[in-house]
Structure formats: structure tokens, C-alpha cells
């Protein structure tokens, strides 16, 4: 259509010059009209089409610095919930971090398991029931660092895809029938030879926020080494990565429960709520004492932290059913609950033994589903799929 209009404009211009009876007002009007249309089309073409090849803009502290022309897929969950007289059913999935056991001699690769199930919720009395499929999906990869890999630590829906994060290599995987590498995250400010130790992820304003443990990296006895785990990554739908210093934000979270370094707070689950316009974190470990690798196994946390967008205010809610060796590893808001109900995973790593449990409670701390054991694998990612 664009080329056709140009040809029409040239033809009209020739007729205008060859006209022997003087200048026709109609032809002048048509010429001006076509000229205006052509200019508008060229402007529209340059403004929209060419701009799509530019880098997707990142969110500044308060404002977007430029426009985003990417059509984000906001479908969530990916499978529509099923409403029944007895309640609403959702498809769910969890993903494993097998640590050293991820190396499989049988498969000659490094592996993780994706386990699927159904969560049923009766919104009239907040009753929750969970069932799991017997068969698990085996995911494998040959990408490793120092003989470690596929230690997947979170599961999240982003731009219509299901993603997970290897906390050893820094690779972000697109999970389908297999695990497909999508992008890679580098430790700290992004200028490092080490992969980012991803532990939590959430979507905010169509960008993916990925965080680490949120504490200073120390020796096994607690001596300070660096602050790299206190940076986060912001990822655009196209996979562009920006490193952001979150040291002050993490410090404000632990200060809300009177913890200062060398005391520590370890995070493995964090979610941005677009409904509340707040950050929610459920720390895995909390201690006012200096980090000790052995004692850390018994330092689980039982608080829900709610922070405003700028972390100027942090609200603390005490959670029930606290077991010292069982800490939170992932959580999501129950779709349809107006971000008032949380479904969470809790894992144990104690004396070389592991286990995973699932639980549910409100943001006010009311327990809806006591810890329900899933199995002896350590699952660190949960999502509605």
C-alpha cells in the first residue's frame, strides 16, 4: 500500500504539470492530501517498525526511560483453571535441585526432575487439596561449571514461557518437554567469570527480576568475601540482562527483624504483587549470629516480609508451624485470591538428608494447609502452569 500511494502521488504530480487549462483547485487539494498521507505513513513506519529493532528499555528507578514495543504475553497461568461446584482446579509444577546428585552417570549428563500436579481450592472455605502425578519429567543438560550443573532453583512463568534457573552455571532454561538454554546470568555486577547464583524470581512491569541469596558471600565460618549475592538481574522479554545493586534493599529487609551483619538473612523466595504494589519475601534462614555452615541448617525463618516498592517501609508478619530445619524455598500467590493466599515450598537439608513440603497460608499468617510432605528430593521451584 505504501508503494502504491507513492506511485499515485507521482502520477498526480505529472498530471498537474501537464494540465494546460491552468491550475485546478481539485488537483491541488488532492496533491496536498496525498502528500500529507505519505508523510504520515513514513512517520508511522519509522516510529513503529524501525523502533522494534531497538533494545527493549529497562525500568528506571521510577520511570520508563523509553517506550517498549514488545508485545508481552501476559497469560497466567498458562493453562486455564477449571471451575467446578466443589472449587477451582489449577495445574501446578515443582522442579528439583539435586545438588551433587544432579550428575547422572546413567544418562551421562546432569539432571533435574519436573513434577506436575493439581491444586484444588474451595474459595468459600479456603480448603486446599493437592495431588501429584506419579511420573516425573526428567530434564537434562551438558552445560556445567566445575562438574556442577542443572541445580534448578526456581520456576516461573514469563512472557508465555516456563523458566527455571541453574544456580551453578547461571543459565536460564526454557522448560518445555526438554530444558532449552535461553540466556545466562553472571555473578555480581555482571563482570565476573562465575555464574549468578539465582534463587528467586518474579515478574514486575513485564520484566523478570531474578535475585540471589541476598546476603554477603562469606567463608564457611562467616568471614566476609564480597557482596555479589546482593545484586539482582532484570531481564527483558528478549533476554537482555541488566545488573542492579540491591544491597540497601536486602539490608532493609533484615533490619526489619533486627538483624545486622555479621548476622544474616538468606532469601530463596521473593514475589512482586501488582495488586498490593509491594514486595513479599519469606526468608529461608535468619540469624542474629555470624554465619556458620553447620549451624545454618537449623536457622530456618518464620516471617513474611512485605515492603513497599522503594523499600522505605517493611511490615513483618509472624508465620505459624515453625520447624528449625525446614525453610522456605519458593512461593506463589494463588491466582484468583487477590494475592491474599500463598502456596509455598519448604525444604530440609539436615545432616545430609533432604525433603520437601508444601504449605498454604494467608498474607496475615493464617495457616490453611499444614506442611504436607512431597518427597525426599529437594524441590526449590513452584509455579502454577
Quick check: 216 and 261 in contact, CB under 8 A? Answer: yes
- 176 assigned binding-site residue: no
Q: Say what the pLDDT of residue 37 is.
A: 80
Query: Pick from 15, 36, 53: which residue ends a domain?
Result: 53
* pLDDT at position 70: 76
Do 187 and 101 have their domain in common? Answer: yes
Residue at 68 is within a domain: no
Rounded Cα distance between 267 and 261, Å, is: 15
φ and ψ at residue 2, rounded to 5 degrees: -60, -45
The residue range of the domain holding 245 is 82-384
Q: Are the C-beta atoms of 375 and 113 separated by less than 8 Å?
A: no
Residue 314: pLDDT over 50: yes
Confidence of residue 381 (pLDDT cuts 50, 70, 90): very high
Residue 70, in any domain of the structure? no
Q: Is residue 315 part of a domain?
A: yes
Q: Where are the alpha helices (DSSP H) in 82-174?
A: none
Please tell me the distance from the alpha carbon of residue 271 to that of residue 342, in angstroms, as a whole number. 10
Do the annotations mark residue 268 as ligand-binding?
yes
Q: Are strands 241-245 and 231-235 parallel, antiparallel or unpaired?
A: antiparallel
How confident is the model at residue 159, as a pLDDT? Answer: 98
Provide CB contacts within 8 A for 11, sequence distance 6+.
Answer: none
270 and 148 inside one domain: yes
Task: Check the annotation: does 154 bind a ligand.
Answer: yes
> Does residue 76 form part of some domain?
no
Residue 335 lies in a domain: yes
151 labelled as ligand-binding?
no
Residues 251 and 373 in one domain: yes
72 within a domain of the structure (yes/no): no
Residue 295 lies in a domain: yes
pLDDT tier for residue 207 given thresholds of 50, 70 and 90: very high
**For 251-288, how does the pLDDT look when each residue is reduced to its tens digit (9 = 90+)?**
999 999 999 999 999 999 999 999 999 999 999 999 99
pLDDT digits (tens, 9 = 90+) for 176-194: 999 999 999 999 999 999 9
Clarify whether residues 203 and 310 are in a common domain. Answer: yes
Q: What is the pLDDT of residues 86-100, one digit of tens each?
A: 899 999 999 999 999
CATH number at residue 114: 2.120.10.100
Write down the H helix ranges in the chain: 2-18, 25-44, 247-255
Question: Is the domain of 48 the same as that of 88?
Answer: no
Within this chain, do residues 231 and 374 fall inside the same structural domain, yes or no? yes
309 is in an annotated binding site: no
Identify whether residues 308 and 190 lie together within a single domain. yes
Residue with cell 519436573: 114
59 has a pLDDT exceeding 80: no
Q: How many distinct structural domains can be found in the chain?
A: 2
Is 380 flagged in the annotation as binding? yes
Amino acid at each position: 500500500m505504501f508503494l502504491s500511494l507513492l506511485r499515485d502521488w507521482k502520477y498526480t504530480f505529472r498530471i498537474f504539470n501537464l494540465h494546460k487549462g491552468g491550475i485546478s483547485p481539485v488537483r491541488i487539494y488532492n496533491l496536498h492530501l496525498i502528500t500529507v498521507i505519505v508523510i504520515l505513513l513514513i512517520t508511522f513506519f519509522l516510529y513503529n517498525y524501525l523502533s522494534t529493532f531497538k533494545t527493549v528499555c529497562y525500568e528506571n528507578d521510577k520511570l520508563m526511560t523509553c517506550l517498549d514495543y514488545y508485545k508481552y504475553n501476559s497469560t497466567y497461568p498458562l493453562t486455564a483453571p477449571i471451575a467446578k461446584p466443589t472449587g477451582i482446579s489449577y495445574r501446578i509444577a515443582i522442579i528439583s535441585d539435586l545438588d551433587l546428585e544432579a550428575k547422572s552417570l546413567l544418562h551421562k549428563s546432569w539432571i533435574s526432575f519436573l513434577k506436575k500436579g493439581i491444586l484444588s481450592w474451595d474459595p468459600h472455605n479456603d480448603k486446599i487439596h493437592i495431588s501429584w502425578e506419579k511420573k516425573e519429567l526428567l530434564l537434562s543438560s551438558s552445560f556445567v561449571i566445575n562438574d556442577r550443573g542443572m541445580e534448578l532453583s526456581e520456576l516461573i512463568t514469563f512472557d508465555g514461557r516456563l523458566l527455571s534457573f541453574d544456580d551453578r552455571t547461571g543459565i536460564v532454561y526454557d522448560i518445555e518437554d526438554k530444558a532449552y538454554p535461553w540466556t545466562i546470568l553472571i555473578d555480581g555486577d555482571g563482570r565476573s567469570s562465575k555464574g549468578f547464583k539465582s534463587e528467586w524470581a518474579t515478574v514486575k512491569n513485564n520484566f523478570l527480576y531474578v535475585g540471589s541469596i541476598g546476603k554477603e558471600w562469606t567463608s564457611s565460618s562467616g568471614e566476609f568475601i564480597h557482596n555479589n549475592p546482593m545484586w539482582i538481574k532484570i531481564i527483558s522479554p528478549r533476554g537482555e540482562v541488566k545488573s542492579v545493586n540491591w544491597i540497601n534493599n536486602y539490608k532493609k529487609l533484615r533490619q526489619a527483624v533486627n538483624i545486622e551483619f555479621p548476622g544474616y538473612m538468606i532469601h530463596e523466595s521473593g514475589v512482586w504483587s501488582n495488586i498490593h504494589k509491594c514486595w513479599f519475601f519469606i526468608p529461608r534462614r535468619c540469624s542474629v549470629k555470624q554465619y556458620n555452615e553447620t549451624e545454618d541448617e537449623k536457622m530456618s525463618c518464620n516471617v513474611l516480609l512485605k515492603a513497599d516498592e522503594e523499600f522505605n517501609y517493611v511490615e513483618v508478619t509472624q508465620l505459624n508451624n515453625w520447624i528449625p530445619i525446614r525453610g522456605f524455598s519458593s512461593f506463589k500467590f494463588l491466582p484468583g485470591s487477590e494475592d491474599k493466599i500463598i502456596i509455598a515450598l519448604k525444604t530440609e537439608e539436615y545432616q545430609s538428608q533432604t525433603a520437601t513440603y508444601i504449605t498454604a497460608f494467608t498474607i496475615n499468617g493464617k495457616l490453611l494447609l499444614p506442611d504436607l510432605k512431597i518427597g525426599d528430593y529437594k524441590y526449590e521451584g513452584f509455579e502454577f502452569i
